[in-house]
Amino acid sequence: MLQSNTSDVTPGEPIVLRQKSGGSVSQSLSSVLGSARADSRLSGYARAQTLSGLPQAAADWFAQAAARFHWPVRLRARMAAKRGSLIVLEGVDRVGKSTQCKRLYEALRQRGRAVKLICFPNRNTEIGRLISLYLEKKYNLNDHAVHLLFAANRWEQVSQIRNNLEKGVSVIVDRYAFSGVAFTSAKSGFTLEWCKQADIGIPKPDVVLFLDLEPLAAMKRAGFGIERYENLAFQEMVHQRFKELMKDESLNWKVLDASQSIDALHQEIISKVEKTIEKAMDEPIGELWK
Ligand code: ADP
Ligand code: FDM
Ligand code: MG
């Protein structure tokens, strides 16, 4: 028998199925599917999830069934919500973060994982537009003020990140609070501790992939030198600050050699990320630096 929840399932809400006793999982699932109608949301969701308490074969069967049928609005079943992972890529400019984030996003999608890709700064919000003008050197801001704007630009997305993680969607992040701290603390008069304050409590990454490359080598890559901060002396200071941050053992830092080819680095990243997703799905979402 399948034990199922009789409450309404709103769009995006996970559905949980629990095996009670007697009868095969597929028979039980058949009875739940009974008057089913087609619903693409569920099929995508089911493909992306391994159902809690069910063997892989049953989860696969469920995904196929959901792809063929449409589910009634009032469902008698809830599918298990395994949470998504928060995956952060960090490093100095031009080490290949954006390239690897896109490759990772595509690879996870192809493997049927639910995934989102975001980047910081997010230049599309009001705060982000101000930051963008600052980075393009079209607008000057006080160093303390701009640091807080970068942090605010993260806070304004916290609920969206958290909602995704809770729905089982993994979130890949191109730069996070570590860039915030490393870049501001590379300026004179800023301590690491002061810089961390504004980001305390944002969702804690399940893994921080640090793409490590000497700033001199990164500088030789295309596109370097256009925006504020893109000069060798400053990037070397930023690199040092990142190394300080990596001493924090409460975070899952993975240092990767970013001088390898795009493909080789991608392989290393996907293998670390797959392990992270499997491990994090049963753990609570943490809060950074708390
Ligand atoms: P970031 O986001 O870290 O600033 P990008 O992903 O934008 O870096 O890459 C900067 C430049 O370096 C791009 O022209 C990109 O094609 C190139 N690049 C990225 N990864 C590698 C790599 N592993 N080897 C050589 N060039 C790379
Ligand atoms: N940057 C980025 C900061 O100074 N603080 C932050 O919190 C963040 C997220 O903005 F120079 C800097 C780092 C870099 C610039 O460049 C963003 P990209 O190319 O958009 O990543
Ligand atoms: Mg980038």
Mean pLDDT of the chain: 82
pLDDT-derived band at 141 (thresholds 50, 70, 90) equals very high
Expressed as residue numbers, the domain containing 247 is 86-280
- Asked whether residue 224 is domain-assigned, the answer is yes
* pLDDT at position 264: 98
Same domain, 33 and 162: no
> Hey, what are 231's tokens?
């000069």
Q: Are residues 224 and 168 in the same domain?
A: yes
Ligand 2 close to Cβ of residue 150 (< 6 A):
yes
Q: E strands of 82-175, at which residues? A: 86-90, 115-119, 170-174
Residue to substitute in 97, 135, 136 for testing ligand 2 pocket (most ligand atoms within 8 angstroms of CB): 135
Q: Give the Cα separation of 212 and 256 in Å (integer).
A: 6
Residues 99 and 231 in one domain: yes
Asked if the structure places residue 287 within a domain, the reply is no
What is the secondary structure of 178-235 as a DSSP string?
HHHHHHHHTSTT--HHHHHHTTTTSBPPSEEEEEE--HHHHHTSTTTTSSTT-SHHHH
Asked if residue 253 and residue 138 are part of one domain, the reply reads yes
Counted domains in the chain: 2
- Number of residues assigned to the chain: 290
Q: Which stretches does DSSP call E strand in the chain?
A: 2-4, 17-19, 86-90, 115-119, 170-174, 207-212, 253-257
Q: Which one of 101, 175, 195 would you pick to mutate in the ligand 2 pocket, going by the greatest count of ligand atoms within 8 A of its CB? A: 175
Q: What's the 117 CA to ligand 2 centre distance in angstroms? A: 16
- Which tens digits make up the pLDDT trace of 17-48? 333 333 333 333 333 333 333 333 333 333 33
Classify residue 286: in a domain, yes or no: no
Write out the two tokens for 256.
């990767």
289 inside domain: no
Q: Using the predicted structure, report yes or no on whether residue 149 has a pLDDT greater than 60.
A: yes
- Atom 10 of ligand 1, residue of closest alpha carbon: 94
Domain boundary among 13, 42, 68: 68
> Is 285 inside a domain boundary?
no
Rounded to whole angstroms, the Cα distance separating 40 from 46 reads 10
The tens digit of pLDDT for each residue in 45-59 reads 333 343 444 555 555
- The two three-digit tokens of residue 279, written as one number: 């491990």
- On whether both 142 and 246 belong to a single domain, the answer is yes
For residue range 169-216, list pLDDT tens digits in order.
999 999 999 999 999 999 999 999 999 999 999 999 999 999 999 999
- At residue 251's C-alpha, the angle toward residues 111 and 146, to 5°, is 95
Going from the C-alpha of 277 to that of each of 63, 150, 283, the distances in angstroms are 19, 27, 10
SS3 at position 118: strand
Distance from residue 268's CA to the centre of ligand 3 (Å): 19
Q: Does 120 sit in the ligand 2 pocket, CB within 6 Å?
A: yes
290: tokens are 């708390």
Let me know if residue 252 belongs to a domain. yes
Q: Please determine, for residue 129, whether its predicted confidence score (pLDDT) is greater than 70.
A: yes
CB 24: neighbour CB atoms within 10 A? 10
Ligand 1 center from residue 222 Cα (angstroms)? 7
Bigger pLDDT: 87 or 1?
87
Q: What is the pLDDT of residue 165?
A: 98
Average of per-residue pLDDT across 81-107: 97
| Residue 279 pLDDT | 98
**Which residues are near ligand 3, the ion (C-beta closer than 5 Å)?**
97-98
Distance CA 47, CA 45 (A): 5
Please check whether residue 290 lies inside any domain of the structure: no
pTM of the full structure: 0.78
For residue 101, the number of C-alpha atoms closer than 13 Å in the C-beta half-sphere is 25
